[in-house]
Structure 1
Amino acid sequence: MGRLSPWHLVALIVLATAGFLLFLGRVPICDCGYVKLWHGVTNSSGNSQHLTDWYTPSHVLHGLLFFAMLHVLLPRVAIGWRLVLATLVEAGWEIAENTSMVIERYRAVTISLDYYGDAVVNSVGDMLAMMLGFWLARVLPVWLSVALFLGTEAVTIWFIRDGLILNVLMLLWPIEALRQWQAAG
């Protein structure tokens, strides 16, 4: 058997993360018994339980950001190995996000009062979305990646009053007026 390529490692990271999430007690799929490609109702028990939802675009943005940061920090490292690193970071977030501590933090300080963590299928979808964002950042001109980031944030803020920046802000430094504005939507 030869050396593992970066692409093999990325696949192993995704599979290992899914296995670890199952070990942590995360449900493999929605308790409803089926998997939808898209679940567009944020304030529902199906949110974060299907393959994609309104928070999937934020994971695409993770990929854009990871590509940019790794391009600056590790410019001589081959793209495949940078994707391995980005996938490790995303996997780490998916595991952390589904711990009791982070779930309780979301429920305490954000509008996600009914958030109980992700189904494993959703976490896998989020990791694939990050990879899509990483690939897009690789092939798009910088100005278009920036426009995609800003446009995606604008669309999610418009439709669900949330997005990557608001989510991080509210998780780390909650602002009551912002939480009330989000809840009014």
Structure 2
Amino acid sequence: MDTLLRHPFILLVMGALLSGLIIPFITKNWQDRQKSLEIRTTLVSEISNAVMEFFMSIQFVHIRKETPRTSLTSVPSHEQAEFDQAYKAWEVKSAVIGTKLQAYFPKSDIPKTWTAFADVMTGFYALEGIVESQLPSNMTALANQISATLFYDLPESATYMQLREALLKCKSHIIRAILQTKVSLS
């Protein structure tokens, strides 16, 4: 047997097997790992960008709303137009992100969690247009929605800052899940 393994033809066949099967297998695995990392990194970046742009628009409106105005109008039209544009951009970006998550994580809960999160973000946006007398009940409904769909425990009478903090933590949870879950490349 020892003589057979030293025969040049056997060594040639073993070399061909090594270079024809094993090396391409290792190379493909490495390329798949790189592609998976690239997809996850891009998705995390897109999510952070979309969420924080929309979040900042909401917060600017919230701060403006709390600042006393000297004019009789509640919100100047250009400010409302900016707010509406931020909402439109959010809806498009969140839908695109949702589609990518369905494509790359079809067997996980990530797409479902993202959809619930996007709905809650839209609800958070809507709080800025609600009249003051209806705000507490709408904030309670949003807190309940966060607790039920995103599994983040909030008191029923959550404050604006508690809702804000919950949304940021839910975003971080989604990002962690993306980074820890295997990407489907097929």
**Same fold by TM (over 0.5)?**
no
Q: Decide which structure has greater helix share.
A: 2
TM-score scaled by length of structure 2: 0.34
Looking at CA atoms only, which structure, 1 or 2, has the larger radius of gyration? 2
Name which structure has the greater RCO, CA cutoff 8 Å, separation 6+.
1
TM-score scaled by length of structure 1: 0.34
